[in-house]
Structure 1
Amino acid sequence: MLLLAMDTATPAVTVALHEGEGREGGRTLAAATRVDARRHGELLLPAVERVLAEAGRGLAEVTGIVVGTGPGPYTGLRVGLATAAALGAARGVPVHGVCTLDAMAYAVGAGLDGAFVVVTDARRKEVYWARYADARTRVAGPAVDRPAELPREVTRLPAAGAGALLYPEVFGEARPGLPEHASAAALAALAAERLAAGVALSEPLPMYLRRPDAREPAGYKAVTPS
């Protein structure tokens, strides 16, 4: 199994190539990450080409695509999903969706004991969040809320992610040094583990959790032909 993974749900444009299955047999062959919230569309395909070249593999060898489904801001998130869909269609291989917060939890779980929360920046003074019993078990969320409106049972937990670091007055247990953004290497490893265990992955559909910023203007003046 050779999985090409990508995620654009956070400010990170991240791509990885993963070979093998399960917890013990898989490995990341190459990975690239660039944090730039305004250039997802420019950076993603060059990152794919760079990762394949570094691994010495071709797109024709890829057996599956894995893409982060968010939650994330509308414009950035759709870049990864559209690219994954296009590459999957071109190669005739399956495209698997994985919740971005699940992949982040998978990446940070080894550094935390017990329950924790993953929090990313949703802009508009809101955060995307999900609560986990451990690195592989989500027990609440994903959801989008204003930090101050989150229940104490969430904000008192150890917290990872850029969203938690933005609001230290709310997330008192925010942990610096843990991954702040998505990692395609973790995304691919989690997907490979689930596939090897026979767990069905989600469809590659976006989790926006709210309406996009761009909306159709209201109050058009009616114009009728004379």
Structure 2
Amino acid sequence: MSHPVFLAVDTATEACSVAINGPAGLVEECQVLANAHSQILLPMITRVLQRAGLQLADVQAIACGVGPGGFTGVRIGVSTAQALAMARGLPVYPVSSLQALAAGIAQPRVLAALDARKGEVYAAEYVQDADGLPVLQGAERVCPPSAVSWPSDGFYWGVGTAWPLYHLCWQQENILGWTQDHFPRAAAVLRLASARQARGDTGCAAVQLEPHYIRPFLPEDQQK
């Protein structure tokens, strides 16, 4: 059985990315450009479709990184995914941007951490399953970096925008290293959503798609 054509987006961080799994394989575009997602996302979707030789009518499902991440960036991705899905009655697959971050690096055990501003981080641990997909261990959380308690069993690799800022707080013998310039990418969002579909997940209706902020949205976050 052939896999459906997914269009995936992630805008939760400084990186804005779009991916599609067309007949010729995966096509992705990514730009690291803070505070410009609202201007570049739709043109990026158009270019990716063109490069894949497809039209929006060929898309069969939408996958969206829903955060955690920057409030404005997350909303842009979610609202765009909703609009595209509602226009054509397509199912939507929400994907954690922390899980997408972990899926984008070839490590069996990953400590994913994004800068959450306000002296906090979004953090989660993931361990690969038999299919090489990251599975959440415990819960995603937002807290000061000093309050993060990484696991002491097994060997892990750190990834995400919080690591260059706070790695000195997280020095443990079982943390082998960390990758600096790495963001959640639409290609990873697509891979995770496609795997869920193959396992029987039918996604959700566009109206059910919501941002995954972890912490409450406050008025002062409006421009973040």
- Greater Rg, structure 1 or structure 2? 1
Q: Over residues 130-181 of structure 1, what are the superposed CA-to-partner deviations in whole Å (9 max), with x where a residue is unaligned?
A: 1112242111221111101112537x8421111112212123344126x621
How many residue pairs get aligned? The number is 205
| Contact preservation (8 Å) 1:71, 1:142 | no
**In the alignment, is the contact (CA less than 8 A) between 2:123 and 2:148 conserved in 1?**
no
Could you list the runs of 5+ residues in structure 1 that have no partner in the other structure?
Answer: 21-25, 216-226
Moved over 4 A (4+): 200-203
| Offset at residue 39 of structure 1 (A) | 1.0
Aligned to 2:70: 73
> Do 1:159 and 1:171's aligned partners in 2 also have CA atoms closer than 8 Å?
no
SS in 1 for 2:19: strand
Once the two structures are TM-superposed, the CA of residue 81 in structure 1 deviates from its matched residue by: 0.2
- TM-score, length-scaled by structure 1: 0.83
Q: 1:151 aligns with which of 128, 139, 149?
A: 149
Q: Deviations over 1:103-136 (max 9, x none)?
A: 121121x2x24x3211111111211111112242
Q: Is it true that 1:50 corresponds to 2:47 in the alignment?
A: yes
What residue in structure 2 maps to residue 195 of structure 1? 197
Corresponding residue for residue 113 of structure 2: 119
> Secondary structure of 2:167's partner?
coil
Structure 2 residue 6 is matched with structure 1 residue 3: yes
Out of 90, 94, 99, which is 1:97 matched to? 94
1:209 to 211, 214, 223: 214
1:136 match: 134
What is the alpha-carbon root mean square deviation over aligned residues? Answer: 2.2
- Which runs of 5 or more residues in structure 2 are unaligned? none
Partner of 1:38: 35
TM normalised by structure 2 equals 0.83
Instruction: Tell me what 1:222 maps to.
Output: none
The answer to whether the 8 Å contact 1:98/1:201 transfers is no
Q: Which amino acid aligns with 1:34?
A: Q
Deviations 1:37-95, CA, capped at 9 Å, x for gaps: 21111111111011011111100110011001111121110000000000111122112
Counterpart of 2:88 in structure 1: which amino acid? R
Assess, with a 3 A threshold, how the Cα gap between structure 1 residues 184 and 152 changes in structure 2: closer, same or farther. Answer: closer
2:12–2:70 contact (8 Å) kept in structure 1: yes
Structure 1 position 99, deviation (Å): 0.9
